[in-house]
Structure 1
Amino acid sequence: DTWLKDTKLVINVIPGMAECDECNELFHVIEHEGYCPNCGSFEKTILSGKDFLIREIHIPEG
């Protein structure tokens, strides 16, 4: 028994999206294994999916 026993962790996954540096195609990094589905380049700029945000912490009273 700890004071955190009723605590829940809620995770909202942000998809890893990137823009190809060669042809500017936007794509989902994991689905395409890091390669641009349009031109096949591996050169990309990551746009989302590298960060996280703690939005709320709920601690039960009692």
Structure 2
Amino acid sequence: MHHPSVLVLRLAPALLLIGLILLALSPLSHSPAGVLLLFLVSLCVSLGFLPLSSRQLEESERKARHSA
């Protein structure tokens, strides 16, 4: 059984991509302020995944060392 955080990490990118696509299709994003908002949301999402992915990588390395 997978840990719930693994499931969230696997589903979150797809859900965020769908959300960003919907935001990009909305009339809000058809203005300079909307484009800036879309960029800032995308940037925050990308930067948010950095700590999560590094923690996941550390856990994977630790498991690999214990199984060796």
TM-score by length of 2: 0.25
Bigger helix share: 2
Bigger strand share: 1
Structure ID, larger Rg: 1
